[in-house]
Amino acid sequence: MSARRPVAVALAAGALTALSRWTPLFDPDAFWHLHTGRFIATQRAIPWIDSFSHTARGRAWRFIDVASDVALYGAWSLGSYTGVIALTAALGFAAAALSTLTQSRALGDARVAPLVAVAPWVASTLAFRLTPRPQTFAFVALAALLYLVVASRARPRRLCFAPLVIALWQNLHASGPLGVLVVGAVAVGASVERREAKTAWSVTALSALALFACPHPLARLAEGLAHVADPRLAALISEWQPLWRLQVVSPAIAALGGLIALALVGALQRRERRPDAALVLIAAGVSFMALRAVRFVPLAGLALAPVAAFGARRLLDAVRLRAALAAALALAGIATLYAGRKPFGAGVNAAMLPVGAAAFVARTQPEGNLVHDFEMGGYLMWTLGPRHPVFVDGRSWALYDTGFLLDALQLTGDRLVRLVPRYDLRVAVLWTEARVGLLQREGWHLVYLDDVASVLVRAPDDAPYVARYGYRELHPARWSDDLARLAHDPVALARAQRESERMVREAPQSAMAHVLRATVEAAAGRGTEADASALRAVQLRPDLTPPHRMLMLRCAARDDRACVCAESAAVRARAPRNEQAAEFARRYQCP
* Residues paired with 25 in a beta bridge: 348
- 524 pLDDT band, cuts 50/70/90, is very high
| Per-residue model confidence (pLDDT) at position 317 | 87
* 29, 37 contact by CB (below 8 A): no
Decide if pLDDT at 404 tops 80. Answer: yes
The H or E element spanning position 380 is helix 377-384
Whole-angstrom Cα distance, residue 43 to residue 577?
53
* Residues paired with 448 in a beta bridge: 455
SS3 call for 460: coil
* 262, 312 contact by CB (below 8 A): yes
> Which amino acid type is present at position 173?
H
Decide if pLDDT at 131 tops 80. Answer: yes
SS3 call for 449: strand
The torsion angles phi and psi of 457, rounded to 5 degrees, stand at -125, 150
Q: Which string of DSSP letters, residue by residue, matches 107-153?
A: HTS---HHHHHHHHHHHHHHHTT-SSSHHHHHHHHHHHHHHHHHHTT
- 226 pLDDT band, cuts 50/70/90, is low
Secondary structure tally for the chain: helices H, strands E? 27, 4
Whole-angstrom Cα distance, residue 126 to residue 337?
9
* 421, 427 contact by CB (below 8 A): no
Per mean pLDDT, which range of 271-285, 381-395, 433-447, 450-464 is the poorest? 433-447
| Per-residue model confidence (pLDDT) at position 566 | 93
- 227 pLDDT band, cuts 50/70/90, is low
Sorted by where each begins, the domain ranges of the chain are 4-136+228-339, 355-469, 479-587
Whole-angstrom Cα distance, residue 455 to residue 366?
10
Mean pLDDT score of the chain, rounded to an integer?
90
Whole-angstrom Cα distance, residue 171 to residue 173?
6
> Which amino acid type is present at position 496?
A
Whole-angstrom Cα distance, residue 278 to residue 182?
8
589's torsion region: left (phi>0), alpha (psi -120 to 50) or beta? Answer: left
Other beta carbons within 10 Å of 253: 19
Instruction: For residue 47, give every residue at least 6 positions away whose Cβ sits within 8 Å of its Cβ, in sequence order, or none.
Output: 36, 39, 40, 61, 64
Whole-angstrom Cα distance, residue 557 to residue 560?
8
| CA distance readout (Å), 436 to 82, 349, 372, 432, 549 | 32, 21, 10, 5, 18
* 354, 436 contact by CB (below 8 A): no
DSSP-derived secondary structure letter, 249: -
Q: What is the pLDDT of residues 44-56, one digit of tens each?
A: 999 999 999 999 9
Whole-angstrom Cα distance, residue 49 to residue 31?
19
The torsion angles phi and psi of 133, rounded to 5 degrees, stand at -145, 165
Q: What is the pLDDT of residues 452-506, one digit of tens each?
A: 999 999 999 889 999 999 998 988 888 888 888 898 999 999 999 999 999 999 9
- 230 pLDDT band, cuts 50/70/90, is low
SS3 call for 446: strand
Nearest to 55 by CA among 363, 430, 357, 381: 381
* Residues paired with 127 in a beta bridge: none
Decide if pLDDT at 232 tops 80. Answer: no
Whole-angstrom Cα distance, residue 93 to residue 89?
6
Whole-angstrom Cα distance, residue 331 to residue 337?
10
Q: What is the pLDDT of residues 354-396, one digit of tens each?
A: 999 999 999 999 999 999 999 999 999 999 989 999 999 998 8
Query: Order of strands, edge to edge, in the sheet holding 444-449?
Result: 369-372, 425-431, 453-458, 444-449
* 62, 44 contact by CB (below 8 A): no
SS3 call for 316: helix
SS3 call for 235: coil
What's the CATH architecture for 479-587? Answer: Alpha Horseshoe (1.25)
Q: Which string of DSSP letters, residue by residue, matches 61-100?
A: -----HHHHHHHHHHHHHHHHHHHHHHHHHHHHHHHHHHH
CA 294 from chain centre, in angstroms, equals 12
The H or E element spanning position 487 is helix 479-487
Whole-angstrom Cα distance, residue 545 to residue 433?
9
Other beta carbons within 10 Å of 398: 16
Nearest to 367 by CA among 227, 465, 505, 460: 465
Other beta carbons within 10 Å of 446: 24
Which of the two residues, 437 and 333, has the higher pLDDT score?
Answer: 333
Radius of gyration of the chain (CA): 28
| Per-residue model confidence (pLDDT) at position 1 | 39
Q: What is the dihedral sign for C-alpha 309, 315, 317, 320?
A: negative
Decide if pLDDT at 223 tops 80. Answer: no
| CA distance readout (Å), 411 to 113, 208, 241, 372, 408 | 51, 41, 20, 9, 5
